[in-house]
Amino acid sequence: MTSAGTQERPGPGAPGPDGASVSRPGAGSPAGSGGNPMTKSAERAKAPAGGRRVRGFFGRVRMAEPQVSDAERELFGGPLRYDMGWSEHEHAQLDLTMLSALRSMPGLVGATLRMAWQANRRALLAVTVSEVGQGIAAAVGLLAVNAVMHALLGSGTPAERLHAMLPGLAVAAGAAGAGSVLAGWSTARAGRLEPLVERIATTQYLAAAASVELEAIEEPEFRRLIDVAQYGAASARRMIGACVASLNGGVSLISTAGVLTVLHPALLPMLILIAAPRGWGAMRVAQERYVSVMSWVEHVRAGRLIGNLLTERTAAQEVRIHSVGPFLLGRYERMAESAEAEQERLASSKAVTEWVAAALSGVAMAATYGTMFWLIMGGHMNLAVAGTAVIAVRSGSASLGALVMNVNQLHEESLYVRDHSRFLDEAARRTIPRGGGPVPARVGQVTLDRVTYRYPDRADPALDEVSLTLPMGSVTAVVGENGSGKSTLMKLLSGLLLPQGGTVRWGDAEVASLDRSQLFDRVALLTQDFQRWPVTAAMNIRIGRPAHEAGPDDLMPSVEYANAGPVLARLPEGLQSLLARVFRGASELSGGEWQKIGLARTHWRSSTATADGVLIVDEPTSALDPQAEIAAFDRIRRLASPDLAVVLVTHRMSGVRHADRIYVLHRGRLAEQGSHQELMAARGRYAAMFDAQAAQYAPAPVVPRPAPPTVADPA
Ligand SMILES: Nc1ncnc2c1ncn2[C@@H]1O[C@H](COP(=O)(O)OP(=O)(O)OP(=O)(O)O)[C@@H](O)[C@H]1O
């Protein structure tokens, strides 16, 4: 058996969608993992024992609803359920039987081998040759042992018999040596193959995820598929190991079976009888483990989420000041106890299953030896053959047991690999189309004409027949209350979303017919939650147009434009300072300082543009102090140039009054439009919003303070 076949699966700790780390089932035995500090309690008595699981011992393992602890009910109103990959497999996996596993084998092995072939065909060939070679070496070794037995139990003096044994011993030693050399070679080549396969699968996954339409990313169903598929790459890697181990088991089994058949035809069925209970036991333990993890992991998820909250930086203040720490810790312990009880139950159940399998196998072994005894006594088998048969039966039953386990593992891993390919297919269908017409260098203006857009899971449209025009060189403001459709409008403008009704035109060209990557190239984006890349300050600016080479001097105009000089001056390495708190020696910026870096990035992108474009600025000043905010709005307005249209989305009304044109959205519809003066004169929504904000800054009326109560002099 090669070490590749016994690869360690990753333990618990894969990050969940919200940062709470969860393990996927099968990735380590629940009985052996966990690592939670757990305490004993009365709750263990209520633990999800056999009652939740309806099964006869030899029947199918069934899944029932996991029990939920009081603490989970109190905190989450029920169990925490992520839409993770393995929960999708609940039923598929439970159909796992020897037959279904064997039926799906050829397809699975074929798919994995194709990936391995694509990764490194030489390594794949080497692994195959060495595994087949090991099987042949094992068969030769057994035959040599048979020759040794014959010599040992044959006629002649002890010296003559020893002498007769020597050739057989030499062949057996040679076969063992060749087998171990081949095993080492196989391990080394499989070790080369596995990371390559994982890389290919990971690259496919990441590339597909990065190139799908934004609409797909925002769809819960597709997001779920992304989460589900993330385990596919590691599973593909493990499938290589399982394939190698299965090949090894298969070849060893065939060679042992061949030798046994040559020795005596009755021995082969006996071998199967010995190994079958062990195979059943392995399969059953795997099923039980899966079903158990399904219920156990619910508690672990909840517990880990709480654990993360206790250590998270963002929660640190409330954890301390509101005494949330001891409260959550208590709930954490109660959830951990539920998980512990389930793991304990599983360990006992596993022990019973293994014991029953071993007992059945022992009975079959006794029957085999009894048959051999009977054959020897009846003169149908000589002692030398019987000795070889004992060795062959032992190694053959080990090979068969390992084969069953590896086929089982192959089946389990294939569920995740299948998700991976399902995701790739779906992503290919939803990928941003390549090609399309070129975006003209000079467009004059960008126009939205009665644009309508409704999110898939919403009844009402987020935008309903909205029309507006953005002339190059102008500053346009879009205002409206929360949820009025401003951000959706920006996504349509930038080409991230395509309108479901109406048209978006760059000059005369309709966006739907244009090359989208060229379109993205024309858009600059500065949003409130712009990406804070964990790279150097210089790269955080340059990443606005990463393909454009830039030295520190090239970036200085952008730094100066954003007034980010004083921010950089405070950093230990200036522009070369790493802005990633998680790494050693890195610096952290405040929200306002980051916004200056964001502004510099936007300037860098705009200043390196060579054709007409649109700059979208969405709530750019939320973290800036009042003075910095005034300066930032002024700077953003100054960015408008003959080849750039600036669109400003903000709730700060003071920032929009100088815009050339202001559009007011209300519940997805265009409610008003005009200049500041026109809209104020119209006394509509805009004027009401402006006045409401202005009133906050008006001098407060003097409210007379009530006279202090007179206290009677006790004297
Ligand atoms: N990804 C999405 N999926 C479903 N509905 C969405 C999605 N994004 C936004 N919406 C809904 O569309 C409507 C418009 O949202 P949008 O984000 O465009 O408003 P907004 O004016 O930018 O709001 P805010 O001022 O709060 O940022 C809202 O009702 C919102 O709930």
Q: Which CATH number does the domain housing residue 223 bear?
A: 1.20.1560.10
Convert 177-190 to b/e letters by CB count within 10 Å (16 or more is b). ebbeebbebbbbbb
Asked whether 462 lines ligand 1 (CB < 6 A), one says: yes
Of the pLDDT bands very low, low, confident and very high (cuts 50, 70, 90), residue 591 is confident
Is residue 545, in this structure, part of any structural domain at all? yes
Domain coverage including residue 553: 532-608
Q: How far apart are CA 96 and CA 323, in angstroms?
A: 48
- State how many domains the chain has: 3
Nearest CA to ligand 1 atom 26: 482
Rounded average pLDDT over 477-500:
90
Asked whether 487 lines ligand 1 (CB < 6 A), one says: yes
Of the pLDDT bands very low, low, confident and very high (cuts 50, 70, 90), residue 212 is very high
The answer to whether the beta carbons of residues 227 and 419 sit under 8 Å apart is no
Nearest CA to ligand 1 atom 3: 455
282 and 311 housed in the same domain: yes
339 and 251 housed in the same domain: yes
User: Picking from 8-17, 70-79, 392-401, 492-501, which range would have the lowest pLDDT averaged per residue?
Assistant: 8-17
Domain boundary among 576, 608, 640: 608
Cα(615) to centroid(ligand 1), Å: 20
pLDDT of the residue at 584:
72
Of the pLDDT bands very low, low, confident and very high (cuts 50, 70, 90), residue 543 is very high
pLDDT of the residue at 254:
84
Cα(527) to centroid(ligand 1), Å: 14
Rounded average pLDDT over 461-489:
92
Asked whether 488 lines ligand 1 (CB < 6 A), one says: yes
Asked whether 485 lines ligand 1 (CB < 6 A), one says: yes
554 and 672 housed in the same domain: no
Rounded average pLDDT over 180-204:
90
pLDDT of the residue at 93:
45
Is residue 56, in this structure, part of any structural domain at all? no
Q: Give the gyration radius of the chain's Cα atoms.
A: 36
Rounded average pLDDT over 335-351:
82
Q: Which residue has the tokens 């080497």?
A: 126
Ligand 1 nearest atom to the CA of residue 665, by list position: 21
* Helical H segments across 230-266, by residue range: 232-263
Asked whether 510 lines ligand 1 (CB < 6 A), one says: no
User: pLDDT > 90: what percent of the chain?
Assistant: 20
Is residue 470, in this structure, part of any structural domain at all? yes
Q: How far apart are CA 183 and CA 1, in angstroms?
A: 7
Cα(463) to centroid(ligand 1), Å: 10
Is residue 68, in this structure, part of any structural domain at all? no
Cα(491) to centroid(ligand 1), Å: 11
Tell me the longest C-alpha to C-alpha distance in the chain: 133
Cα(492) to centroid(ligand 1), Å: 13
Is residue 149, in this structure, part of any structural domain at all? yes
Is residue 74, in this structure, part of any structural domain at all? no
User: Picking from 87-101, 124-138, 363-377, 691-705, which range would have the lowest pLDDT averaged per residue?
Assistant: 87-101
Asked whether 480 lines ligand 1 (CB < 6 A), one says: yes
If we measure between CA atoms, which residue out of 534, 566, 504, 526 comes closest to residue 649?
526
444 and 560 housed in the same domain: no
Residue 312 tokens, joined: 């998270």
Rounded average pLDDT over 148-165:
81
Asked whether 218 lines ligand 1 (CB < 6 A), one says: yes
Asked whether 520 lines ligand 1 (CB < 6 A), one says: no
If we measure between CA atoms, which residue out of 466, 508, 497, 490 comes closest to residue 670?
466
pLDDT of the residue at 59:
60
538 and 515 housed in the same domain: no
User: pLDDT > 70: what percent of the chain?
Assistant: 80
Is residue 358, in this structure, part of any structural domain at all? yes
The answer to whether the beta carbons of residues 475 and 651 sit under 8 Å apart is no
pLDDT of the residue at 43:
35
Asked whether 486 lines ligand 1 (CB < 6 A), one says: yes
Residue 402 tokens, joined: 């390992």
Q: How far apart are CA 530 and CA 19, in angstroms?
A: 20
Nearest CA to ligand 1 atom 12: 462
312 and 266 housed in the same domain: yes
Of the pLDDT bands very low, low, confident and very high (cuts 50, 70, 90), residue 37 is very low
Asked whether 461 lines ligand 1 (CB < 6 A), one says: no
Cα(517) to centroid(ligand 1), Å: 25
394 and 478 housed in the same domain: no
User: Picking from 89-103, 155-169, 196-210, 459-473, which range would have the lowest pLDDT averaged per residue?
Assistant: 89-103
pLDDT of the residue at 204:
92
User: Picking from 32-46, 322-336, 602-616, which range would have the lowest pLDDT averaged per residue?
Assistant: 32-46
Asked whether 482 lines ligand 1 (CB < 6 A), one says: yes
Nearest CA to ligand 1 atom 5: 455
389 and 507 housed in the same domain: no
Cα(482) to centroid(ligand 1), Å: 8
395 and 474 housed in the same domain: no
Domain boundary among 591, 608, 625: 608
* pLDDT over 50 (residue 34): no
Considering 334-338, 535-539, 653-657, the range whose residues carry the highest mean pLDDT is 535-539
Ligand 1 nearest atom to the CA of residue 484, by list position: 21
197 and 320 housed in the same domain: yes
Domain boundary among 587, 608, 629: 608
Give me the CATH number covering residue 455: 3.40.50.300
pLDDT of the residue at 207:
94
The answer to whether the beta carbons of residues 643 and 614 sit under 8 Å apart is no
If we measure between CA atoms, which residue out of 614, 610, 596, 608 comes closest to residue 560?
596
pLDDT of the residue at 414:
79
Query: What residues does 526 pair with on adjacent strands?
Result: 617
pLDDT of the residue at 66:
56
pLDDT of the residue at 681:
92
Q: Order across the sheet with 509-510: list the strands.
A: 463-471, 445-453, 501-506, 509-510
Which residue out of 466, 482, 487, 652 has the highest number of ligand 1 atoms within 8 Å of its CB and is therefore the one to mutate? 487
Rounded average pLDDT over 573-601:
84
* pLDDT over 70 (residue 248): yes
Q: How far apart are CA 138 and CA 260, in angstroms?
A: 12
424 and 459 housed in the same domain: no
pLDDT of the residue at 532:
87
* pLDDT over 80 (residue 164): yes
pLDDT of the residue at 83:
44
Which residue out of 217, 488, 649 has the highest number of ligand 1 atoms within 8 Å of its CB and is therefore the one to mutate? 488
Nearest CA to ligand 1 atom 18: 485
Q: What is the pLDDT of residues 128-154, one digit of tens each?
A: 899 889 888 988 888 888 888 888 877
184 and 105 housed in the same domain: yes
Q: What is the pLDDT of residues 658-681, one digit of tens each?
A: 889 999 999 999 999 999 999 999
| Residue 269 dihedral angles phi and psi, to the nearest 5° | -60, -35
Which residue out of 217, 478, 482, 484 has the highest number of ligand 1 atoms within 8 Å of its CB and is therefore the one to mutate? 484
Ligand 1 nearest atom to the CA of residue 651, by list position: 25
Structure pTM?
0.69
Rounded average pLDDT over 401-409:
76
pLDDT of the residue at 699:
63
Cα(461) to centroid(ligand 1), Å: 10
Q: Which residue has the tokens 């039980």?
A: 288
Is residue 642, in this structure, part of any structural domain at all? yes
Of the pLDDT bands very low, low, confident and very high (cuts 50, 70, 90), residue 101 is low
Mean pLDDT for all residues in the chain = 78
